[in-house]
Chain A
Amino acid sequence: MKESVRIQQEDFSQDEEIRALQASSKRMGGIATFLGCARDFSEGREVSEISFDAYGSMALSELKKLRNDAIEKYSLLDARIVHRIGTVKGGDNIVFIAAGAEHRVAALEACRWMIDELKQRVPIWQKEITPQGEAWVTPHP
C-alpha cells in the first residue's frame, strides 16, 4: 500500500486514495476530500503550465506533522495527503486530501483545516507559465 503522505511528480488516483483510507477502519462513517486542480486562467491571463518547487524533505515532514495534527485535533480515524510537484497543465490534479472520521462533521472540518494549514505551513511554491512569461504565485488568502 502507498504511504498515506506523499510528494510525487506523477498523478494520483482519488479512488485508490479513498479505498486505502476506507480500508484503514470499519468504524469510518464519513470521508471528506479536497482536490486541488491547476487552472488554465489566473489574474486575467491564460496559464499554460504550472511548475512547482519544494523544499522536499521539509515539505514531506510538515505534511506528516499536518496529518498527525489533524488526526489528533479532529479525532480522525485516518487521513491521507498527496501533493504533486514538477510541471502540470490546466485541469491536472495538484493536491488531494482525504479525512476519515466516525461522523461527517469531523471529516469535513478536518479536510478544510488541512488544506488551509498546508498553504500556511508547507514549503512548496508554484510558478505560472503564461504565453507572456513566467510569474511566481502570490498566495491567496
Chain B
Amino acid sequence: MIKVLFFGPVAARIGSNQMMVAFRPGIRLQDVRDELAAQYPQAFEIVCFAAANGEHVRDMSLPLTDNSEVAFMAKFSGG
C-alpha cells in the first residue's frame, strides 16, 4: 500500500489527513495524483508540491515502491 498524507488546506478540502492507495508494480507518483485528483478535484486545484518519503519531488514520473509515503501539498505559509 501507499500512504498518502494531506495537510492544512488540502486536508481541509478532502476532509481527511491520510488515505491508502493500493500499490501496483510500476505505479508512479503522477498515477497516484491523477487517481486522487479525479476523486477530489477541489482539493487538488490548490496542490502545488509533492513529496515522497519526506523529500520534495519535482519529477512526477518517480516510480513508487510498496509502503511509500507520499504527500500532496498546497503552497506553504509558515514563518
Residues of A at under 8 Å CB distance from B? 36, 52-55, 57-59, 61-62, 83, 94-95, 115, 118-127, 136-139
Contacts and interface: CB of A to CB of B under 8 A. Distances in A.
A43 B59 CA distance: 35
Nearest to A119: B79
Contacts, number: 72
Given A61-B54, A123-B51, A136-B12, A55 B7 contact: yes
Interface string B1-43: 0000101110110000000000000000000000000000000
The winner among A36, A115, A126, A136 for most chain B CB atoms within 10 A is A136
Given A55-B73, A123-B73, A95 B8 contact: no
Interface residues of B, number: 19
A119 to B, nearest CB: 5
B74 A54 contact: no
A125 B76 CA distance: 5
Interface in B38-79: 49, 51, 54-56, 71, 73-79
B76 to A, nearest CB: 6
Nearest to A125: B8
A58 B51 contact: yes
Contacts of A57: 54
A3 B46 CA distance: 34
B50 to A, nearest CB: 11
B74 to A, nearest CB: 7
A124 B76 contact: yes
A55 B75 contact: no
Given A123-B51, A126-B77, 15 more contacts: A53-B11, A58-B54, A59-B78, A83-B79, A94-B79, A118-B78, A121-B76, A122-B76, A123-B76, A124-B77, A125-B9, A125-B76, A126-B78, A136-B74, A137-B77
Q: Which 10 A-B pairs have the closest CB atoms?
A: A124-B78, A125-B8, A136-B9, A137-B77, A53-B8, A58-B54, A139-B77, A119-B79, A126-B77, A139-B75
